[in-house]
């Protein structure tokens, strides 16, 4: 069993749909990091959070420390949101464990 899991693995949505990507982890963490990787490889940091909720534009990330679960939501999805979304558990002493990624495709 992986220490960081994501669901779904692949997701196809129609433009405008509300999207949720889930991340669950089984280890103690200092924070959780959501990353976005577009085709071509570049990785962009979206959020880092250790409690509660953060919002940036149409993106919202939440974390429940007790349940060891985080979600990334995209409101009013757009084709430019198509990417791989990766959650990463930041463990103490700087060790990071990456989830396998969720591949999102938003169709016009």
Partner 1 sequence: DVKVTQSSRYLVKRTGEKVFLECVQDMDHENMFWYRQDPGLGLRLIYFSYDVKMKEKGDIPEGYSVSREKKERFSLILESASTNQTSMYLCASSSRSIKQYFGPGTRLTVT
Provide the minimum distance between the beta carbon of 37 and partner 1 in the complex, in angstroms, as a whole number.
8
Q: How far apart, in whole angstroms, are the C-alpha atoms of residue 60 and residue 69?
A: 14
Cβ proximity to partner 1, 68 vs 98, nearer residue: 98
In this structure, how many other beta carbons lie within 10 angstroms of the beta carbon of residue 79?
A: 11
Contacting positions for partner 1 (CB under 8 A): 30-31, 33, 35, 40-45, 48, 86, 88, 90, 94, 96, 98-101
Is there a contact between 23 and 31 (Cβ–Cβ < 8 Å)?
Answer: no
Provide the minimum distance between the beta carbon of 13 and partner 1 in the complex, in angstroms, as a whole number.
22
Cβ proximity to partner 1, 10 vs 75, nearer residue: 10
Q: Which residues contact 27 (CB under 8 A, 6 or more apart)?
A: 3, 4, 89, 91, 97
Collapse the DSSP code of 80 into the 3-class scheme (helix H, G, I; strand E, B; otherwise coil) and give the result.
Answer: helix
Cβ proximity to partner 1, 41 vs 108, nearer residue: 41
Provide the minimum distance between the beta carbon of 44 and partner 1 in the complex, in angstroms, as a whole number.
8
Cβ proximity to partner 1, 83 vs 86, nearer residue: 86
Provide the minimum distance between the beta carbon of 53 and partner 1 in the complex, in angstroms, as a whole number.
17
Is there a contact between 45 and 35 (Cβ–Cβ < 8 Å)?
Answer: yes
């Amino acid at each position: 069993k992986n220490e960081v899991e994501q669901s779904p693995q692949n997701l196809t949505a129609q433009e405008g749909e509300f999207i949720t990507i889930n991340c669950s982890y089984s280890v103690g963490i200092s924070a959780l990091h959501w990353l976005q990787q577009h085709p071509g490889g570049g990785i962009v940091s979206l959020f880092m959070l250790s409690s509660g909720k953060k919002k940036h534009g149409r993106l919202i990330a939440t974390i429940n420390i007790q349940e060891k679960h985080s979600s990334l939501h995209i409101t009013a999805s757009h084709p430019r949101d198509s990417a791989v979304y990766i959650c990463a558990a930041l463990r103490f002493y700087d060790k990071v464990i990456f989830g396998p990624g969720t591949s999102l495709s938003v169709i016009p």
